[in-house]
Amino acid sequence: MITLTALKWVPPFAQGQVRDHRIRWVLKEVGWPYRVELIDTVVQQDPGYRLEQPFGQVPLLREDGRPTLFETGAIVLDVATRSGRLLPEAEADRARAVCWLFAALNSVEPFLAQLAEVDFFMKDEADKARRRPGVIEMIETRLGQLDVVLQDRAYLVGDAFTVADLMMSSVMKIVGHTDLLARHAAVAAHRDRCFARPAYREAIAEQRRDIAAHGPRDMKYPSA
């Protein structure tokens, strides 16, 4: 049986955003059953958990008879490869899909993540006001470049949804609290096309249900 870890509870702005939704999504796409182990920050800091996930993050994926995996890109690619789903059959297209999977995580997500840091975690309003315009400018550049790619295609590689599309659309969730995608119609259309998939909707609904069943009082934190 596959087990993935997820957080018991997160603040409202993060609900539906936590990266375990990517693993739920890909597992639902390929039709593999799994269970979810909900953890708190005490477990995240536990030495045993750190042996499996050195950075104490979620998700990780455990499976009987196989090594524990972490990092959503690696897990998504592993599931797609072993299932024979969500990757093009042609070798060249498969290689391109893997390129776009990594591009989502390395060339796009870090820029978008900076905005989440500014908007949700920076406390000093003056510092936030100084930093935000530069972050927006970098994001606009990246989205503009991606918009050009998606102008004449429904998906990043070929005519079918792949792990590249799963990851790229998931990354776009980071700026969902803004109107940035309204200025990049092709990127927005690609995101909406991916998010209309039943597996995505089920994954997000499942994550939200898990979080709704708990609250801040259910979270345990390491003692100082």
**Average pLDDT of the segment spanning 152-178:** 97
Which CATH number covers residue 98? 1.20.1050.10
The closest of 95, 113, 115 to 105, measured between CA atoms, is: 113
Query: What confidence tier does 224 reach under pLDDT thresholds 50, 70, 90?
Result: very low
Which CATH number covers residue 13? 3.40.30.10
Long-range Cβ pairs for the range 134-140 (8 Å, 24+): 135/111, 136/180, 138/111, 138/114, 139/111, 139/112, 139/114, 139/115, 139/175, 139/180, 140/180, 140/183
Is the pLDDT assigned to residue 222 strictly greater than 80?
no
Domain count, the chain: 2
Query: Is 76 in the same domain as 105?
Result: no
Query: Is 118 in the same domain as 185?
Result: yes
Query: Is 34 in the same domain as 80?
Result: yes
Whether 222 is in a domain gets the answer no
Instruction: Kindly report, residue by residue over 54-77, the tens digit of the pLDDT.
Output: 999 999 999 999 999 999 999 999
pLDDT of residue 120: 95
Are 189 and 215 within 8 A, CB to CB?
no
pLDDT of residue 60: 97
Query: Is 46 in the same domain as 111?
Result: no
Query: Is 191 in the same domain as 171?
Result: yes
Whether 221 is in a domain gets the answer no
Q: Write out the residue range of the structural domain in which residue 8 sits.
A: 2-85+200-216
Q: What is the pTM of this model?
A: 0.95
Instruction: Kindly report, residue by residue over 15-40, the tens digit of the pLDDT.
Output: 999 999 999 999 999 999 999 999 99
Whether 115 is in a domain gets the answer yes
